[in-house]
Structure 1
Amino acid sequence: MPMPANPPPNMPRITPYLYYEDVASALTWLSRAFGFRERMRMPGPDGKIMHAEMEFADGVLMMGNPGPHYRNPKRLGQTTQNLYVYVDDVDRHFRHAREAGANILHEPQDQFYGDRRYGAEDPEGHHWYFAQHVRDVAPEDMKPPPR
């Protein structure tokens, strides 16, 4: 028997796994607000979705229910990470997300490192940054603005 592909086909080597109290609602919301596409869902013994996967371009997002060792930002009371997603037109993506009811953390802004990005929060507190690379900047020319 031949060895299976590692990673499996259509699976990137690094895949974020987020925890949602209501995975079914997250699937619907992420699709509507951010343009993700559901690729699979796996119900648990109680009928609730225990694992699901979504994709956006060549990226994959896995999700499941929180448990004793895993919390979502809403339950934790803070966020400990964010997701950074490149889109083709960040201003159009921003308008769509805002119209879909995303909690906007900041509107699109040009960044010193060459991206234009905005930030949004999903209903369970995960922070998302959507960006478009608009100019190349050499590392030695990257100057963060004063704080």
Structure 2
Amino acid sequence: MTANRSLPIDTVLPHVMYADITAAIAWLTRVFGFREHYRYGEPVSGAQVYAGKACLMLKQADSHGTPKQLGCGTQSLTIFVDDVDTHFARVQSTGAKIVEDLHETIYGERQYGVEDLDGHHWLFSQHVRDLSPTEWGATIA
């Protein structure tokens, strides 16, 4: 398989739709601390951003709607961070809409939920306990 410097081949690359890509890049970098890798189009119709090691494509919501436009959620994205408490304080200080307060889950994650400028649901999480899925009630396939 050919190597590609745009993205490793063993990566799931979500494409998240926004009404205004330039505004989304500015918001996601300011509030969540994402880093822009590149943008394309004139006017801008897409961009790639990083959240730690996670990579996301931001796409213009031309033929797809955003949750805000549709009036309902379409997905939830989880991003793992090294220090979720610091990340939460940073995001909260920007006035972003926190939809799930910082808490520890039964499966050993410390996390919180937040809604972005176009209504996308994000979870920011940090591993705090190492648990087998069977320890919290899941059945391993």
TM-score by length of 2: 0.90
Aligned to 1:38: 36
CA distance, structure 2, for counterparts of residue 98 and residue 50 of structure 1: 29
CA distance, structure 2, for counterparts of residue 106 and residue 143 of structure 1: 22
Give the unaligned 5+ runs of structure 2.
none
> Structure 1: which amino acid aligns with 2:76?
N
Identity %: 40
SS in 2 for 1:112: coil
**Contact kept in structure 2, 1:112 and 1:143, CA below 8 Å:** no
Aligned to 1:131: 125
1:120 has 2:111 as partner: no
1:102 has 2:100 as partner: no
CA distance, structure 1, for counterparts of residue 6 and residue 17 of structure 2: 22
CA distance, structure 2, for counterparts of residue 10 and residue 86 of structure 1: 21
| Segments ≥4 residues shifted beyond 3 Å | none
Aligned counterparts, 1:1-147, within 5 A: 4-5=2-3, 8-9=4-5, 11-12=7-8, 13-44=11-42, 48-68=43-63, 70-143=64-137
CA distance, structure 2, for counterparts of residue 81 and residue 95 of structure 1: 24
CA distance, structure 1, for counterparts of residue 46 and residue 31 of structure 2: 20
Bigger radius of gyration among the two: 1
Matched pairs, number:
136
CA distance, structure 1, for counterparts of residue 38 and residue 60 of structure 2: 15
> Structure 2: which amino acid aligns with 1:18?
V
CA-CA distance at 1:4 after TM superposition: 2.9
Once the two structures are superposed, residues 78-121 of structure 1 have per-residue CA deviations (whole angstroms, 9 ceiling, x without a partner) of 11211001001111100100111210001110000000000000
> Structure 1: which amino acid aligns with 2:122?
W
**Contact kept in structure 2, 1:15 and 1:62, CA below 8 Å:** yes
CA-CA distance at 1:129 after TM superposition: 0.1
SS in 2 for 1:49: coil
RMSD: 1.5
CA distance, structure 1, for counterparts of residue 91 and residue 48 of structure 2: 20
TM-score by length of 1: 0.87
